[in-house]
Amino acid sequence: MLNLVLKDFLVQKKTPLISIIYSVFFFIVFRGDVFKDFVYIMGSVAISYIYLMYTVNLDEKNKSDLIINSLPVTRRQVVMARYLFYIAVIFIGILIMSLVGMILKTVPGFPDLAYVKPQDFVTAFFMIGILASFHTPLAYKFGINARYFDMAIFFGLFFAPGFLADYIKRHSGLDTINHFMNLTQHSNWNSIGLAAAGFTLIIIMISLAISIKIYESREF
């Protein structure tokens, strides 16, 4: 099963370079007051989305399912390997953004660039996990046509942090917003992070079960 995970990385030889270029692009473009605190999150989500989309495109192009299902592996193992790949991609996206951010911080013109924070990691894990959880069953059900659903999910998750921050700033006087801010400020961040990570893992497990059911019923 691990060989299937390795296969998904080996067929995407150009994706790491593309991801690095995209990460630099995000740091340059999203330097405004609204989005600068979310650049690590948005960049990580975008990089993971690239990996997700390229995987589906290459599988369709190379008819990978026909070859893989002729090997001595079960369909359940095929699906589980794909989810392991996506979990690895989550950490790769965050790692690339973190390393590029550290390098750019030493470059003139990026003096106010912050380092990646644990909150960025947890939020990115949550968003990418949700994206992958919706993407994978749709990809197994509709193949390349799932990209239309993916784009809607991606843009919704991609712009959510910035719009949420902007909304909170513009409506800081509302009782609901004040209650939410007080709750988050006085809550233990470790507890919030663990709860978010646990919720994400539950969604991933539910998605995995759905994907296995869909894939085992497909005809090739």
* Contact between residue 128 and residue 88 where contact means Cβ atoms under 8 Å apart: no
Residue 117 DSSP symbol: -
- Asked if the model's pLDDT at residue 208 lies above 90, the reply is yes
Residue 67 is assigned to a structural domain of this protein: yes
- Please state, as a whole number, how many other Cβ atoms lie within 10 Å of the Cβ of residue 62: 11
Residue 165 is assigned to a structural domain of this protein: no
- Better pLDDT: 115 or 136: 136
Task: Give CA–CA dist 212/218, Å, rounded.
Answer: 10
Residue 80 is assigned to a structural domain of this protein: yes
The torsion angles phi and psi of 170, rounded to 5 degrees, stand at: -80, -20
Residue 164 is predicted with a pLDDT of 64
Domain of residue 139: give its range. Answer: 2-158+187-216
Q: Which segments of the chain does DSSP mark as H helices, in order?
A: 2-10, 15-29, 39-62, 64-68, 75-104, 118-142, 147-170, 175-186, 189-216
Residue 69 is assigned to a structural domain of this protein: yes
Q: What SS3 class is residue 105?
A: coil
- Per-residue pLDDT band for 144 (boundaries 50, 70, 90) equals low
The model's pTM: 0.78
Q: Is 95 exposed, middle or buried (0-12, 13-18, 19+ CB in 10 A)?
A: middle
Domain count of the chain?
1
Residue 138 is assigned to a structural domain of this protein: yes
Task: Dump pLDDT digits (tens) for 146-204.
Answer: 666 766 766 666 666 556 666 666 655 555 555 545 555 545 666 777 888 899 999 99
* Contact between residue 135 and residue 153 where contact means Cβ atoms under 8 Å apart: yes
Residue 80 is predicted with a pLDDT of 93
Helix pair 15-29, 75-104: axis angle to 10 deg:
50
Residue 14 is assigned to a structural domain of this protein: yes
Residue 167 is assigned to a structural domain of this protein: no
Residue 200 is assigned to a structural domain of this protein: yes
Task: Give CA–CA dist 136/138, Å, rounded.
Answer: 5
